[in-house]
Structure 1
Amino acid sequence: MRRLSPLDALFLQRDAPESPRHIASLVLLQPGERPLDYDTLLQLISERLDLVPRYRQVPRPVPGALGLPVWVDDEDFDVSLHVRRSALPRPGTMQALHDLVGRLIARRLDHDRALWELYLIEGLEGGLTALLFKAHQALVDGSHTVDLAQVLLEDSADVRELPHQEWAPRGTPSAVSLALASIRDQVVHPGTILSNSAFRAERLLSRIPMPRPDPARIGALDAPLSRHRRFATASASLDDLRRVRDEHGGTVNDVLLAAIAGALRGWLLTRAEPVSASTSFRAMVPMSVRLKGAEDDSLPTSLGSRVRGHLLSLPVGETNAVVRLHQVSYALKAHRETGDAVAAQTLADLPGFATSTFHAVGARVAENEASRGYQLVVTNVPGPQEPVFMGGQQLHQVYPAIPLTGRRPLAIGITTYQGRAYFGIVADREAVPDVDVLAQCVDEAVEELVETTSPRRRAPRGRKRPEKGGAR
């Protein structure tokens, strides 16, 4: 029986209809020799859950809030309640998929069941199959539990056979035993008293109704959250991003963030929002770092200990795309020169690496630093550049979906995989009804940067150069 960390307990406490605290990931699979059907997926998940036992557990509160909640086995666990099947109406367009994903990520997870869901979405045009993973922020911490997608990834279309044994839940401890265990922990470890006090204070504050803001003062990225979400995607060629990097300096990450700044600028202009030379948005950008004393870039078991929140001012008011890039690159230069930055290729080459786990850790870090007053979260995780597989099907595209919290109606996640950067854009349905316009502005901002490179660096349109390594 393991107790939740103070941060995980706060994630559960802050989970609300307007701000469900789960991380999501949309994966598109190419059709293989044998389509991935629901029964096959259900069997595969059942076998892999042995590797992530917490996916069969639920958080149980301690009576009287005498201590932090504990993880206990779900005596009524039924995998079919978590692995669900859905389909798109013909012709199964990406827009229809975006609409469905927006509805699914808006739904809170049931706290009386294990805190995850997986949707098999069929009927997508081109014969593609989609998988939507949802896992609560209290569940995936990168240390004791990784994202379910991580244990499903394979290096080939051959599905590994893993040893499997029938699972039987351990009995749920009684309320009295939970209370006594909490009291004993506080006697043995007095430091837990502070954590428990903070948790109880958070519970009390969450019951106080917050005043509704003046609608006249609501900015483009400052608005109360509704119970509904929109989702949109964009993508860019890594070759294009590298050409911009080679022409103007910096890193591919700098180019991506400069493109987001340009996209926000274009989006604001389509809304007739005021944009001046000083207009900027504060973005929380979780970044991987090397621990002091580490001899190499190999990551320890706890991914959370290797991610730090970096506050970046996106120069939205700057009219020149190259100057925007230089400003972003200069702002991040200090992080690189400290020697703490971890190379993107190192992350992409991690054995069994799933980008969704790092996005989950990044979102946790961002939420833990909400007091720093940022306006949106941008996570960027480099993935493998060689094909990977799930359930015998080759992974074709992958889009992260970062949760919305506070008064921040927009979040952007980026995953690089097999020669492309995939943007997953989550927005509040009421505050940002035109999220598809923002996605289009991302495409245009990347193109604007590519057009600043010399002709000899540009690849002919319609041709794709082979990938060599990950984004840097």
Structure 2
Amino acid sequence: MERLSGLDASFLYLETRSQLMHVVGVIEIDPSTMPGGYSFHAMRDELSRRISAMPNFRRKLDNSLLNIDHPVWVEDADFDIEKHVRRVGVPAPGGERELTELIGHIAGRELHRSKPLWEMWVIEGMANGNVAVVLRMHHANVDGVTSAEMLSQLCTITPEPPQLDTDKIKETAGGTSRLTMAVGGALNFVQRPLALARLLPGTVKVPIGWAKRAMEGSAMPLPFQAPGTPFNAPITPHRSLALTQLPLDDVKRVKDRYGAKINDVVLAIAAGALRSYLQNHGGLPDRPLVAMVPVSVHGSDETALVETGTNKVSGMFTQLATDVDDPVERVERAAELARRSKDHHADIDANILRAWAQFAPGEILQQLMKSYGGRKLSALHPPVFNVVVSNVPGPPLPLYYLGARVVGVYPLGPIFHGLGLNISVFSVDKSINVGLLGCTELVPDIDKLAHSFEDELAKLVDTCD
């Protein structure tokens, strides 16, 4: 039995029918490269073999009325791969629109909490002959870094199946013990006043430091200071998505030409694409948009205030240069804004968010979030921020998914009440893969936003000649 950290559990408490807290990965493969030829059943069998050495795929939630702390993970004694892996055909003619509509439908479904919180859909019948593998995992069980680690176990640099880690095969979340769960939860609960006393001094420093930096002009944007946009509104369960690839060499060329970093160029492209999209929809604010950029704290020093858990992430706020028309100036501005936010974020204890999450009141938070979403209260205040922009680097090598050559890997992060657009980026081999997920009612033509990413990079490449 393994108790969830407060931050991991918060993703459960924040979930509503409209606000689905799972992440999605779309892996497009070329089945003709699979040794021995493509077979759904052979692929599923190899997946089952590898999952035997991937403990996160085999554990499920457990809770009881006696437990007054966060839920626990236990080993699923009845784990069955066939309950998690599904096979489906894309509607004719099997083009990009049909594929993304089908994945959008899959992304809008809830994960059932009675079994391990993941599922995989293998989509066949694509017009180009490829196969799309859609993996959904609950955010309580994965973050950006751990998802990349899991990908490395499913995707290898050669088509041959790897040897499995015997220690991981033996690793287990254990079984259920109602007494242990209740006693452990009670002990954690009574220790919270002391943990709170330890946490307060460091927390008080955050607003003081923020105010000081604001006066110096070196602060991150404050929450709830973002301008309104058409996609900052109450969301529904309906999901639209778009996928696009950018040549990594082109992004590096721009980076080298203007002395920026790859992430700066990505933020500049995102700002340009959002600017163009909002101009076409008559919703471009005069002020720059504000992005929340997830930042991994894996490897950071742990403190006594923080329990271990899957999600080791913080969030950095940064302005996007959506108020800048010139693409070159936008890159320079993006680099400047990113440096400012990184410097400020580095001054804040990366574990504070995770430490405060330990106090998350599960049942109360769940009811508050249902009321917040159901009554559409996000429409009554300024956006916390405008958009999520995450960027996770992957291996600069060709990959093989269970033996088949990977054509593209696209991440899709969750959206939130009042925050109906997520932009996720994952680089692998020679491509930067961009996944955009939005609420259908708020971003009905999300494919046009994706094409704007391609246009913005082309403009920057032209300036490098």
The DSSP-based 3-state class of the residue aligned with 1:329 is: helix
Q: Name the counterpart of 2:42.
A: 40
Separation in structure 2 between the aligned mates of residue 313 and residue 19 of structure 1, nearest angstrom: 24
User: Are the aligned partners of 1:52 and 1:145 in contact in 2 as well (CA < 8 Å)?
Assistant: no
Separation in structure 2 between the aligned mates of residue 441 and residue 144 of structure 1, nearest angstrom: 30
Q: Name the counterpart of 2:292.
A: 284
User: Are the aligned partners of 1:186 and 1:193 in contact in 2 as well (CA < 8 Å)?
Assistant: no
For structure 1, list consecutive stretches of 5 or more residues without a partner in the other structure: 196-216, 295-300, 341-363, 455-472
Structure number with higher relative contact order (C-alpha < 8 Å, ≥ 6 residues apart): 2
Instruction: Deviation per CA, 1:218-251: give whole Å up to 9, x if none.
Output: 7323110101100101221122212222222211
Counterpart code for 1:424 = G
Q: Name the counterpart of 2:389.
A: 378
CA shift for structure 1 position 183: 2.5
For structure 2, list consecutive stretches of 5 or more residues without a partner in the other structure: 198-226, 303-307, 347-352, 358-377
The question of 1:313 aligning with 2:313 is answered no
Q: Percent identical across equivalent pairs?
A: 29
Rate the CA distance shift 1:191–1:39 in 2: closer, same or farther, 3 A.
farther
CA shift for structure 1 position 180: 3.5
Q: Which of 428, 432, 443 is 1:432 aligned to?
A: 443
Rate the CA distance shift 1:173–1:121 in 2: closer, same or farther, 3 A.
same
- How many residue pairs were aligned? 399
The DSSP-based 3-state class of the residue aligned with 2:322 is: coil
Separation in structure 2 between the aligned mates of residue 150 and residue 333 of structure 1, nearest angstrom: 30
Q: Name the counterpart of 2:333.
A: 327
Alignment of 1:58-457 (within 5 A): 58-63=60-65, 65-141=67-143, 148-162=150-164, 171-174=175-178, 178-186=181-189, 189-190=191-192, 219-273=229-283, 275=284, 278-287=286-295, 305=312, 308-334=314-340, 373-454=384-465
Q: TM-score, normalised by structure 2?
A: 0.76
Instruction: Deviation per CA, 1:378-398: give whole Å up to 9, x if none.
Output: 011121221111111111111
CA shift for structure 1 position 170: 5.9
Separation in structure 1 between the aligned mates of residue 180 and residue 299 of structure 2, nearest angstrom: 39
CA shift for structure 1 position 409: 0.6
Instruction: Deviation per CA, 1:300-320: give whole Å up to 9, x if none.
Output: x98855x54221111212211
Q: Which of 43, 54, 60 is 1:52 aligned to?
A: 54
User: Are the aligned partners of 1:75 and 1:169 in contact in 2 as well (CA < 8 Å)?
Assistant: no
CA shift for structure 1 position 22: 0.5
Q: Name the counterpart of 1:345.
A: none
CA shift for structure 1 position 400: 0.5
Q: Name the counterpart of 2:364.
A: none
RMSD: 3.6
Q: Name the counterpart of 2:4.
A: 4
Q: TM-score, normalised by structure 1?
A: 0.75
Separation in structure 2 between the aligned mates of residue 308 and residue 427 of structure 1, nearest angstrom: 22
Q: Name the counterpart of 1:23.
A: 23
Instruction: Deviation per CA, 1:67-109: give whole Å up to 9, x if none.
Output: 2211122343221111111111333212211111111111110
CA shift for structure 1 position 293: 8.7
CA shift for structure 1 position 255: 1.1
Rate the CA distance shift 1:322–1:57 in 2: closer, same or farther, 3 A.
same
The DSSP-based 3-state class of the residue aligned with 1:138 is: helix
The DSSP-based 3-state class of the residue aligned with 2:269 is: helix
Separation in structure 2 between the aligned mates of residue 444 and residue 435 of structure 1, nearest angstrom: 15
Separation in structure 1 between the aligned mates of residue 147 and residue 247 of structure 2, nearest angstrom: 32
Separation in structure 1 between the aligned mates of residue 161 and residue 443 of structure 2, nearest angstrom: 41
User: Are the aligned partners of 1:285 and 1:378 in contact in 2 as well (CA < 8 Å)?
Assistant: yes
The DSSP-based 3-state class of the residue aligned with 1:127 is: coil
**Higher alpha-carbon deviation: 107-116 or 219-228:** 219-228
CA shift for structure 1 position 150: 3.2
Separation in structure 2 between the aligned mates of residue 10 and residue 427 of structure 1, nearest angstrom: 22
Separation in structure 2 between the aligned mates of residue 311 and residue 142 of structure 1, nearest angstrom: 17
Rate the CA distance shift 1:234–1:190 in 2: closer, same or farther, 3 A.
closer
Separation in structure 2 between the aligned mates of residue 51 and residue 372 of structure 1, nearest angstrom: 42
Separation in structure 2 between the aligned mates of residue 167 and residue 335 of structure 1, nearest angstrom: 39
